[in-house]
Amino acid sequence: MYDLGIIGAGPAGYVAAERAAAKGLSVVLFDKRELGGVCLNEGCIPTKTLLYTAKLYENALNGKKYGIVAENVSFDFGKIMARKNKIVRKLVGGIGAKMKKFGVEVVKGAASMEKRNTDGTIDIHCSEKTFTCKNVLVCTGSEAFIPPVPGLDKAEILTNREILELKELPKTLTIIGGGVIGVEFANFFCALGTKVTVIEMLPEILPGIDKDLSEMLRKDLEKRDITFNLSAKVTKVEGQTVTFEKDGKEHQVQHEKLLVSVGRRAVTHGFGLDKMGVEVLKTGIKIDSTCRTNIPNIYAAGDVTGFSLLAHTASREGEVVVNNLTGRKDRMRYSAIPAVVYTNPEVSCVGLTEEAAKAKGIEYNIRNLPMAYAGRWLAENEGGSGFMKILTGKKHNEILGVHAIGNPSSEFIYGAAMAIELELRLQDMEEVVFPHPTVSEIFKETVFAFQE
Amino acid sequence: MATPVIMPRQGQSVETCIITEWNKQTGDTIAKGDVICAYETDKASFEIEAEEDGTLLAVFFEDGDEVPVLENIAVIGAEGDDVEQFRPGSAQAEAPEAAPAEEKPAAPKATSETEPPAAAPAPTADRDSDSVRISPRARNKASRKGVAHEAVQGTGPKGRVIERDIDKAIESGQQRTAAAAEISTPQANEVEGTGLGGRITSSDVASGNTVYSNDSEVKKLSNIRKIIAKRMHESLQNSAQLTHHMSADVRRLMDARKAVKAKMAEENGPNITLNDMVCFATIKALKKFPDANSHFLGTEMRVFNKIHLGLAVDTPRGLMVPALKNADDLSLAGLSNQLKALADSCRQGNVDPALLESTAASFTVSNLGAYGVEMFTPVINLPQAAILGVNTIINRPADVGNGVFGFVPYIGLSLTYDHRALDGGPATLFLREIKEQIENFNETI
């Protein structure tokens, strides 16, 4: 008998397992693949490894901006991919060691909830064994969604999984879907010299991100020769040709490789949700603010819930579940979850966007400040562009949203998340001391910009 | 020489009283007989008078504080007198109790003569670390609000952390976000925080996902309110009560009332009210139905051969039901006088607490007629077996003789009885007897 059975060992599952075991619960963790889930094996970590390589290469090529002369700069695609694999292996091994240290029983295989016992416990079958659990956390994640475009089913396509296994750099790459995944891969392959074309159905890339930031990033990437086809609908895929409709006209683009990244869909089949009577919406498993499903001892966390498809959301959801199971009242709050696009330059956001504030009818004040106001950024981003945008509530001047484009905004956006969580006001932020010189000072500068 | 003012003991069962108002402040000059403060028990309110002249040197409790009886609540004396020895919980005041626990070296004491006396009770550092003194209420609130009560400075007796200390800690902003603190009201403490670490956010205060916003105020229940709540709820839960309604022709009663008024005008006669007359009639009926004049005690009944009439009285502090002992011994005028005196003492708050016990009365009358109530279901004051509700007078068509119909004034009577004690038949007969006593009222005024 286990206190907690966890199906899925991604950032929701392995974090919850570690936290629960540390608090003395007996935990069994199931996954049919490697520990770490999509995030670690075919998402966050491998892509960031690649993007850093791309940045290094770009910097080497553009060294003359900084007075550095580097000649015959080249790369070895095989070694780039090998380093990525090494990083992933190391981190997967690290999770395994952690699970061992905390006494979490890890079972490899497809797990399924088979039976609810009279005392409410749930029997999970995996690898021809039965594990009886008092509570179950379902965190089976999401998978790439393949849209019903004619010919796409027969075409040779890549998703985020396969594209990470390429042995050779493609000469041309077409990406259907200009969301975070599509744009990050576009950035990477473009940096290494692939001719990249992005086809996006909406009028701007990166839905959900502040429009001013998306636009600046897109223009920056366009300068580096990525072609963006916005408000464009793919109508047909045939061989190495994608046909799309834009402005009422038909266009065609040739490719060596095709990446489909139009979105992700919760994985809700194959592990007994129906047998248990768990309510599943179109988008994913329905949960309350404590991540509980309609069945009292079944919880869900991460992408399988179908919204806020982010690893850090998943981990926090897993922690909320464990806290409530171990007697600490806790709830999910989605108002201050940072989101980052790890392109060069990085786009980092937390809180309300201007569009969302308008849609919700929230009265706000807003200030924009170029990144160049932070001396450190100027020193390190020759010829670059970037800015920060802050939204505050009109009544109390509390920070509602912070949006930045510029390196390395991903490293200090958490400070804005804390400010939003604590509803800090401009006058509170003014009293916070920032280290000088850092790029983070742009946050403080923009706060003071409200005085003007 | 300073002397303490002590919270008096009011009856054997009273262990604490609530100070309702301080009439004097620290520093006021006091003359013997001055009212220093008012306080209430769960049954009545009282005042404390100064027993000597002097200056009010210290006050140890605030309005609304619940104080154990025989506790020092204030000190009267001459300016400069030491008051610390009287402070509740101070080492001197409770020497025998505190001494064994005192394990610290006596060094601070040696210098204490030259130092001003400690203004506050034992500071945090002096407290026994593994048994922080905290009231259950305060502990509860602290845990609900996520306040680290160990860090809170107690202001209760012996430095005990009490609820208001937790409230203060919350108010000081520990548990609110900056924006929420800006718009907070005291009642926002009752809001459940949904923010980081359970912090109250501005949306929680403004309404957000909470049941209550700042559109209401949380008031503490007075002791009397708590008692009423408990008794009424218990009554409905623990008995099998139901109500019969009947009306009585009150022409004779109204004639009598006219005579009373005439006599009042002529020779200052007693102001006997309709209610007095209904009570008088009820007493006569009770004499004939002793089972209704009883306490139902589960496995037995206490049937009274005297009538102790309970009278529901509306007072500013809430409902009180004092008993008029041996009401059956009284003439109509006597009954009227005594009911009036009893009601007055309830409104003034100086009624004998013993008369307010639910066991003091054998039967109760509750009159809402003056308010125009036409029918209601009074709640029995357990263990009494029944209660009579008296309603307003309504003119109803009735046969006034020889087939002639006219409008006749009728008074509504609502008898609630405990079916465990009385069956419907006898209860109805008893109610009809009251009706007949009213209709055949023939007391000379």
pLDDT tens figures, B349-381: 888 888 888 899 999 999 999 899 999 999 999
Domain A160-262: assigned CATH number: 3.50.50.60
Of A329, A331, A398, nearest to B202 by CB-CB distance is A398
Could you tell me the pLDDT band of residue B126, with boundaries at 50, 70 and 90?
very low
**Burial of B144 by CB count in 10 Å (0-12 exposed, 13-18 middle, 19+ buried)?**
middle
Of B179, B182, B194, nearest to A333 by CB-CB distance is B194
**Burial of A101 by CB count in 10 Å (0-12 exposed, 13-18 middle, 19+ buried)?**
exposed
Match domain A339-449 to its CATH number in 3.40.50.2300, 3.30.390.30, 3.30.70.360, 3.60.110.10.
3.30.390.30
Residues of chain A with Cβ-Cβ distance to B197 below 8 Å are: none
Render pLDDT for B324-357 as a digit per residue (tens, 0 to 9): 999 999 999 899 999 999 999 998 888 888 888 8
pLDDT per residue of chain A (452 residues) written in tens, 0 to 9: 999 999 999 999 999 999 999 999 999 999 999 999 999 999 999 999 999 999 999 999 999 999 999 999 999 999 999 999 999 999 999 999 999 999 999 999 999 999 999 999 999 999 999 999 999 999 999 999 999 999 999 999 999 999 999 999 999 999 999 999 999 999 999 999 999 999 999 999 999 999 999 999 999 999 999 999 999 999 999 999 999 999 999 999 999 999 999 999 999 999 999 999 999 999 999 999 999 999 999 999 999 999 889 999 999 999 999 999 998 889 999 999 999 999 999 999 999 999 999 999 999 999 999 999 999 999 999 988 899 999 999 988 999 999 999 999 999 999 999 999 999 999 999 999 999 999 999 999 999 999 98
The whole-angstrom separation of Cα B198 and Cα B44 is 41
What percent of chain B lies above the pLDDT cut of 70?
83
Does A394 contact chain B (CB < 8 Å)?
A: no
Task: Specify whether domain B224-439 bears CATH 3.40.50.300.
Answer: no
Alpha helix (H) ranges present in A126-253? 160-163, 180-191, 211-223
Q: Where are the domains of chain B?
A: 3-118, 224-439
**Are the Cβ atoms of A398 and B178 closer than 8 angstroms?**
yes
Half-sphere exposure of B213 (CA within 13 A, CB side): 10
Q: Bridge-partner residues for A233, per DSSP?
A: A245
Q: Report the length, in residues, of chain B.
A: 445
Nearest CA in chain A to B209: A289
The whole-angstrom separation of Cα B165 and Cα B137 is 11
Q: Bridge-partner residues for A405, per DSSP?
A: A347, A387
DSSP run (H or E) holding A350? strand A347-351
Q: CA B107: distance to chain centroid? A: 48
Domain B3-118: assigned CATH number: 2.40.50.100
Which residue of the set A251, A269, A403, A436 is catalytic? Answer: A436
Nearest CA in chain B to A329: B198
Pairs from B121-127 (Cβ < 8 Å, separation ≥ 24): B121/B87, B121/B89, B121/B90, B121/B154, B121/B155, B121/B156, B121/B157, B121/B158, B121/B159, B121/B160, B122/B89, B122/B158, B122/B159, B123/B153, B123/B159, B124/B150, B124/B151, B124/B153, B126/B159, B127/B159
The whole-angstrom separation of Cα A219 and Cα A226 is 9
Q: Which of A420-434, B12-26, B130-144 has the lowest mean pLDDT?
A: B130-144
**Are the Cβ atoms of B177 and A424 closer than 8 angstroms?**
yes
Does A331 contact chain B (CB < 8 Å)?
A: yes
Does A432 contact chain B (CB < 8 Å)?
A: no
Residue limits of CATH 3.50.50.60 in chain A:
2-143+265-325, 160-262
Nearest CA in chain B to A429: B178
* Residue bearing the bigger pLDDT, A184 or B47: A184
* Residue bearing the bigger pLDDT, B189 or B388: B388
Does A398 contact chain B (CB < 8 Å)?
A: yes
Work out whether the CA dihedral B144, B147, B151, B153 comes out positive or negative: negative
Q: Which of B121-125, B169-173, B307-311, B330-334 has the lowest mean pLDDT?
A: B121-125
**Are the Cβ atoms of A333 and B178 closer than 8 angstroms?**
no
**CA of B153 to nearest chain A CA: how many angstroms apart?**
25
Q: Report CA-CA distances (Å) from A232 to A203, A226, B32.
A: 8, 16, 95
Is A436 part of the annotated catalytic residue set? yes
As a whole number, mean pLDDT of residues B166-172 equals 74
Q: Are strands A105-108 and A112-116 parallel, antiparallel or unpaired?
A: unpaired
Q: Are B369 and B390 in contact (CB under 8 A)?
A: yes
Quote ipTM for the complex.
0.72
Q: Report the length, in residues, of chain A.
A: 452
pLDDT given for residue B108 in this prediction: 38
DSSP E strand stretches across B50-125:
54-59, 66-68, 72-77
pLDDT given for residue B129 in this prediction: 39
Render pLDDT for B90-125 as a digit per residue (tens, 0 to 9): 654 444 333 333 344 333 333 333 333 333 333 333
Q: Bridge-partner residues for B3, per DSSP?
A: B76
Residue limits of CATH 3.30.390.30 in chain A:
339-449
Residues of chain B with Cβ-Cβ distance to A396 below 8 Å are: 179, 182-183, 202
**Are the Cβ atoms of B179 and A398 closer than 8 angstroms?**
yes
**Are the Cβ atoms of A331 and B194 closer than 8 angstroms?**
yes
> Model's pTM, two decimal places?
0.61
Residues belonging to chain B with any Cβ–Cβ distance to chain A shorter than 8 Å? 177-180, 182-183, 194-196, 198-199, 201-202
**Are the Cβ atoms of A425 and B201 closer than 8 angstroms?**
no
Using DSSP, state whether A3 is helix, strand or coil.
strand
**Are the Cβ atoms of B178 and A329 closer than 8 angstroms?**
no
Q: Are A77 and A193 in contact (CB under 8 A)?
A: no
Does A396 contact chain B (CB < 8 Å)?
A: yes
pLDDT given for residue B227 in this prediction: 84
Q: Domain A2-143+265-325: what homologous superfamily?
A: FAD/NAD(P)-binding domain (3.50.50.60)
Does A428 contact chain B (CB < 8 Å)?
A: yes
Q: Does position B19 have pLDDT exceeding 60, yes or no?
A: yes
- Report the greatest alpha carbon distance in chain B: 103
Q: Is A27 left (phi over 0), alpha (psi -120 to 50) or beta?
A: beta
Does A421 contact chain B (CB < 8 Å)?
A: yes
**CA of B204 to nearest chain A CA: how many angstroms apart?**
12
Alpha helix (H) ranges present in A62-200? 77-102, 160-163, 180-191
**Burial of B268 by CB count in 10 Å (0-12 exposed, 13-18 middle, 19+ buried)?**
exposed
The whole-angstrom separation of Cα A50 and Cα A88 is 12
How high is the mean pLDDT of chain B? 81
pLDDT given for residue B90 in this prediction: 62
The whole-angstrom separation of Cα B235 and Cα B238 is 5
pLDDT given for residue B225 in this prediction: 85
**Are the Cβ atoms of A424 and B178 closer than 8 angstroms?**
yes
**CA of B178 to nearest chain A CA: how many angstroms apart?**
5
